[in-house]
Structure 1
Amino acid sequence: MVNEEWGAAQYEAAGWILLDPYRGATKSHRAEHKECGNQDTKKLESIRQGKGCVYCYRAGPMTRLSDDAAFERMVKAVFTPKDREYPGVLTKWLCTCNECGRDVWITLNYAEAAKGAGCPDVCREKRKAEKKAATAARAAERRQKGQEDRGARWKSKRKAQEPEAAALALVQGCTPAEDYPGPDEPWKLTCNACGELFVTTCAYLRRMKKPKACHVQGYDTVRPAYVYVLEHLKTGR
């Protein structure tokens, strides 16, 4: 059977104030170190083995913060405590988040570690969304810049190929009617034989073995045309 008074006395003798009901030597209990005033989770078994306060070990002798000092530090970390009674550095304190206005339970350690970023719920999700949006915006900007750079390189390449393409068009019996768009892009040319505009590609002109007499083929839908009406002699249709 566990003797709670005996367990509390053992913690007291080792320099700790037991804050939870004693449940056994191998169980973790919340306790406050008398020397520095900080709270930690300790086992009586660990205390007997000589394991002391981690805060005293890391920072040397410490003094417990006063209520006013803790309140000021919490306000500086963008949290306003509901009351001025400081519960301890590792104990959650009911505060109002100055960023989103919600009431949250938070420790002074976490509030100061957050460095003014707000509460771990709403403000954290808001920061994640803002970070995600900023990342997407940077990615879109990089894509846009890449497209512009590729477009500029391709435009420069086309400009360098334009004299050769214009000379090829003249050899094939046509004259460019617009700037050279590229080897496989539709290109408006004027046929030197009939003076009509037609559309082809530079790649097609390169494949031609000899110049055509006229490049304009098919029906001209603009000019007048003859219409022939035929009648079948046997059926009369």
Structure 2
Amino acid sequence: MGISQAWARRRELPRTDGEQAAEELQKFSLTPLVSYPGPSGLWACRHDTCGREVEIRLHNLRRGLRACPYCPPAPGGRRRWPADEAEALMRAAGLEPLEPYSGRRQQAWRCRCAGCGRETSPSLGGILADQGGCRHCADMRAAEARKTDPEVAAADMRAAGLEPLEPFVNSMAPWRCRCTSCGSEVSPTLMKIRTGGGCRFCASHGFDLTAPARVYVVQHHQHNAVKIGIGGTAGRNERVKQHRRSGWVLARDWHFATGVEAHAVEQAVLQHLREAGHGPYLSRDTMPNGWTETFDADLVTPTTLAAIVGTTIERLAGTHTPVPSRTILRPERWTVRSGTAPRRRPLTNKTGRDQLPLF
């Protein structure tokens, strides 16, 4: 059958008039608002179930499509939300829309949070699923829920042999306490205590703060790097011997009666270098242990670093003020003596370029 014959046969079929179409709409709970535009024309109607105005095509209803896009097809089914209802849902969730509703529930919708005033972009589907709107406010609520009870935190500190000397802030902040075993004042974090830490003066592993120690300056000619560090003088935590096996050469060292003084000098020198703009020179891959204390030997020569250490010792000796890291100084016990000369003479480095001023 040709196209012309098909159109001729279609014209012979009985046409639906307005009254028949209106009667047919009643089966779908629709009331026409305008005259019948034909089976393929948009027909403005009112859905009797929800009372909303919709535009439908009669031939789409005959094909089985829904009469109202705003009503769910079955109990519990999804529906299309009108713009006014979608905006009302957003405002009920504490969000003020900053742009019109796109009609898609899973699309990001730019809004402003009424709680914190930040701009956020949740979706209507997320709001309907009770996923929350503002991510910042959700993170703050979660952090508040995870916050440790101060009484529980104090009990954990006392169980580790530490008596708190100030109110609890959070698990990551240093907390000033007094050790009930040795009487020293320390400032560990609650997180460190919960992972097995304790008083650094009573520790049986790592760097011994109560034993004799030394501050050392070493140089690596191949990497063109210089490093400052602290370690024991013998036995536990004798770091200089470990560095020598990796190619480091001792430039100079200073011996102290306890590790407290050595740690105070090291931290003061590192603070001075950081404030002067010198960051770590070697990477973690090159030097897994101690890479943060390395510097470019062209900018910080071993001689310059040794001079800074000496000036720092003179400045800290005889003072009673702790350094910013809250290291406890004991001036009356300071017994500094210069270390031995290096076994190998360091290579001559560039001087006069970006050298650090002394204290």
TM-score by length of 2: 0.29
Q: Which has the larger radius of gyration?
A: 1
Tell me the TM-score normalised to structure 1 length: 0.39
